[in-house]
A = this chain, B = another copy of it.
């Protein structure tokens, strides 16, 4: 068994893999492949509808929010958000917690003013800034809930006096949230929700329609909302696999069950990192992510050897991002506890035999 710790695209539940193959062979009893069927077919319209229902259920989303499936990843959202929400003479507030937050900031500056209200850049983003004040005269506040590269995660969200927008690409559906705190949540699917190629956006309707610029049609949230994610051909297969994954989350007990599962996995691994004399974590303990666990060897010379052992033990995708180094084990929803145990076993074996 290969243990897939990839940071994304990442492990999916077995039922999503199995279901995706079945749908390629024969989608919804049509006798046609899901790769060959019209997105306007009633069978695929039912997939979009079910996907929306699952998102609503999993996050208990009330009326007043719209759910759309887009393309272009979170990176395109970095442009669409200020394009749809920020006039040129207005200011948006951003929290800088890493590379992706930085990219969001860079793009927002093309459309208006940006106020970076707090940053952890001075410590290579190894913590989540706290104690900041969100200015009530900014247009919105943007934050990144989980920072894949650095292994930090917001453990709670501020009560924002202005619309709160959150990039949840790497921890969506990994824990319960209070949707009422948020005005927009978005996520590239390819970590916790599905394969690469689709982006989920959950948008409170009343934040839209307030900018004066002319928004290109494909970049206008209202167009995608009004057309039920079907203004043009959506990413059919990626939406289908995402639906299968969301179904699995629901069947497993929803976001509360995911949080329990993810906490158990993360606790197991962090405990070993803290216990094992050869390793250490790279983040502030209170900001540690349950999704991406970053750690290094105390002796840098050990890292190549542990990489070799990990390979032998079929621990796949644990190389750390170049900006942090060392190791990163991504523990997304679908990763089983056995895989974390296999990694912990390898770390213990490594300590004994070094």
Contact = CB atoms under 8 A, between A and B. Distances in A.
A38 interface: yes
What is the oligomeric copy number? 2
A101 B241 CA distance: 32
Contacts of A35: 9, 12, 16-17, 20, 195, 241
9 contacts: A6-B37, A9-B233, A12-B35, A31-B314, A71-B71, A75-B232, A76-B218, A107-B217, A197-B235
Interface of A: 2, 4, 6-12, 16-17, 20-21, 24-25, 30-33, 35-39, 71-76, 78-79, 83, 103, 106-107, 110, 188, 190, 195-198, 214, 216-219, 231-238, 241, 314, 316-317
Contact of A237 (B25, B76, B197): B197
Contact of A236 (B7, B36, B196, B232): B196
A196 B237 contact: yes
B235 A196 contact: yes
A247 to B, nearest CB: 15
Given A231-B75, A238-B235, A12 B38 contact: no
Contacts of A4: 32, 36
B2 A236 contact: no
